[in-house]
Chains A and B, each alone.
Chain A
Amino acid sequence: MMNAVEVKKKKKLVGVIVLLILTILLMFFVSLSTGVIQIAPADVIKTLFHQGTARQELVLFDFRLPGILLALLIGAGLAISGVILQGITQNELADPGILGINTGAGLAVVLFIYFFKGQLDVTSSFSIFIMPVAALMGAIVAALIIYALAWKRGVNPIRLVLVGIGVNAGFAAFLTIFQLKMDPQDFRQATVWLTGDIWNTSWSFVFALLPWILLLIPIALHKAHSLNVLNLGDDVASGLGTNVESERRQLLLIAVALAGASVAAGGGIAFLGLVVPHIARKIMGPLHQYIIPVSALIGALLLMVSDTIGKNLLAPTEIPVGIIVSLLSAPYFVYLLIRTK
């Protein structure tokens, strides 16, 4: 039975989603037409329907389109990962980047490149599909380490964040050591990739990430109710008949998988998963069935816009998108920090 408030909420959700999709479409065309080689919006549409010049087709289909689609997927993935992490830790400062999950995934990928460099071609499509798996392993191991180290008769949210910062620094140190053992070209590639790089991308990255996102977002939506219940606090949640620890572990796995797959495709992009859920909550209120879809869209939009800014701000120098995201979101993080008790 739907009451009036719920109907109103649903209407608002539809309105917000339509608005966000329209904005994403608009920015999508802006993003496609800007860059070192400018293509007029009319030409973009023509080219998309295979009416453009060969050069325009090359730029659009081989370079810009996969990059933009990847940005959209990664943005959505990291944002939902952030929503879940904040929900299960009841901590509004949680983020896969700050907790060290991204760095763990990054370390796994660098180790993978380092140890299998001789055996297989790193740029081959096979290893592009294996990389998310390696990143996922790294992300899971990182999450386990952080969880275990933060455990002291239960997991206190603040201790979790502090431990995350420490583990993050440790992974970063190992990363530096292993990166330096690589030959210079791999080193440069790894460095750029780790700061969050989605411009040197190809369709294989898009196809490698797509199944993860398509699979995990519906599961996350399905779990929205558990997140709502967990948000009421552990005592209330178990009183309502929820198996708190089991639900929390399943949700953590989803969040970690989303972060791991996104990192494998796009490198370490911090703060996105932190800020987006806050914006979504501001618009939609506390219920996760509304927050999750709105966060996915806002995350996608934010990352695409950041990517476009990164490409054009100092053109022809391209700035890794992770840097732009940090620059845009860190002030908001500071604001949250001042506000929280």
Chain B
Amino acid sequence: MREFIHQSNISKLIINIITILLLIVSIGLSVSYGSTNIALGTVWEAVFHFNPELTTHQVIQELRLPRAFSAALVGAFLAVSGAIMQGMTRNPLASPSIMGVTDGAAFALVLMLAFFPTISTMGLISSSFIGAGLAVGLVFMVGSFSPSGLTPVKLALAGVAIGTMLRSISSILSLHFNLEKQMGFWIAGGLDGTSWSSVTILLISGAIGLFIAISISKSITVLSLGEDMATGLGQNNLMIKLFGILSILILTGAAVSVAGAVGFVGLIVPHITRFIIGTDYRWIIPSSILFGALLLVLADVVSRLVNAPFETPVGAITSLIGVPFFLYLARGSGGGK
């Protein structure tokens, strides 16, 4: 038995190492594909022997690299948020986009830009956290008022309603304050316009959010078995939930402020991860980081190829991947009740 667990841990490790290698390759692809294709050798040169006089080197350093890194980080954050949500609520449909979190963050961003146009980047990011928190709070409130609790269906419907409401207000504000372009960008989701400063923002928020996520991962495994069981094992569920929500808000808020509403990543990745890696959140969370990063980097490459030389919002690509998955879940456990 001990040997078996040991073995399967090794195979999990191998899967993760393979994913890391795939991630490196896809980041390479992401950097070399674009409106002008750049050979991988040149990419190598630009990274390790940077020559500021060459345009290609500048394109790589200033545009392509930060974009690829942002894609990887945003994908990772959304995936981990989804994993924590699904673990905490034991609801297969829980994820940032379904729960209106991304709409909440976008709402706060439009609100800030409308009334405080001179706001600093840091201010924008913090308001994005608060907006995400507002949406989560509202959705959970609907659940707690409801006699039958937050069933998977109710969660999805409450998310749709709260999301629509927040998006309506954002649309009105953006029409009035001429912020349609920014608003459209956040709604559709996209990675063009990312720079090294986006990467910095993501890295700082990620360090905090992922640290919390990993440190509560063992307790989430227990929580995912059922609250009574967790209480029986002497776990302080309220504390764990609070920390879980905190890390969801930090991770989703940062992701939305950089890339807008990129849907379905947080829904799909945790399911795939659980299917491959099993039910232990100490493994699920690190693997979700890798799978989420890989998914979004690849989706971003596809978004540039689908309608070249124009870009398609990456959110549309992830939706197309995610919808069949959502439908499968809706036909299965989610729609059973």
Interface residues of A (CB under 8 A from B): 93, 98, 149-150, 152, 156, 158-159, 161-163, 165-167, 169-170, 172-174, 176-177, 180-181, 191, 195, 270-271, 313-314, 317-320, 323-324, 326-327, 330-331, 333-334, 337-339, 341
Contacts and interface: CB of A to CB of B under 8 A. Distances in A.
Given A93-B157, A158-B335, A337-B158, A317 B175 contact: yes
Contact of B176 (A158, A191, A314, A338): A314
Contacts of B168: 323-324, 326-327, 330
Contact of A149 (B322, B331, B334): B331
B160 interface: yes
B335 A334 contact: no
Interface in B105-119: none
Given A330-B168, A337-B142, A167 B327 contact: yes
B337 interface: yes
B10 interface: no
A143 B134 CA distance: 34
B326 A166 contact: yes
A173 B323 contact: yes
10 contacts: A150-B335, A162-B93, A162-B330, A162-B334, A163-B327, A166-B330, A167-B327, A173-B323, A177-B316, A341-B148
B307 interface: yes
A162 to B, nearest CB: 4
Interface string B293-312: 00000000000001100101
Given A93-B157, A166-B326, A166-B330, A271 B164 contact: yes
B156 interface: yes
Given A323-B172, A337-B158, A173 B319 contact: yes
B52 interface: no
B319 A161 contact: no
A63 B292 CA distance: 50
Contact of B327 (A98, A149, A181, A337): A149
Given A170-B319, A173-B323, A314 B172 contact: yes
B165 A158 contact: no
B320 interface: yes
A337 B154 contact: yes
Given A169-B319, A177-B306, A338-B146, A323 B330 contact: no
B171 interface: yes
B206 interface: no
A334 B161 contact: yes
Interface residues of B, number: 47
A338 B157 CA distance: 11
B147 interface: yes
Contacts of B264: 169
Contacts of B310: 180-181
Interface of B: 93, 142, 145-148, 153-154, 156-158, 160-162, 164-165, 167-169, 171-172, 175-176, 184, 188, 263-264, 306-307, 310, 312-313, 315-317, 319-320, 322-324, 326-327, 330-331, 334-335, 337
Contacts of B312: 176-177, 180
Contacts of B146: 337-339
A317 B175 CA distance: 7
Nearest to B148: A341
Contact of B153 (A158, A180, A317): A158
Given A158-B337, A177-B307, A330 B165 contact: yes
A103 to B, nearest CB: 12
Question: Which residue, A159, A324, A337, has most C-beta atoms of chain B within 10 A?
Answer: A337
A169 B264 CA distance: 10
Contacts of A338: 142, 145-146
Contacts of A320: 171
A319 B177 CA distance: 12
B319 A326 contact: no
A180 B184 CA distance: 12
Q: Shortest 10 CB-CB distances between A and B: which pairs?
A: A159-B335, A173-B319, A170-B323, A162-B330, A330-B165, A166-B326, A176-B316, A173-B316, A327-B168, A326-B168
Contacts of B142: 334, 337-338
B18 to A, nearest CB: 29
A190 B313 CA distance: 17
A341 to B, nearest CB: 5
Contacts of A271: 164
A323 B171 contact: yes
Nearest to B325: A166
A152 to B, nearest CB: 6
Given A166-B323, A167-B323, A326 B165 contact: yes
A270 B161 contact: no
B335 A156 contact: yes
A251 to B, nearest CB: 23
Nearest to A332: B161
Nearest to A328: B168
B169 A327 contact: yes
B178 to A, nearest CB: 9
A317 B153 CA distance: 37
A334 B172 contact: no
Given A169-B326, A177-B306, A330 B331 contact: no
Nearest to B171: A323
Contacts of A323: 168, 171-172
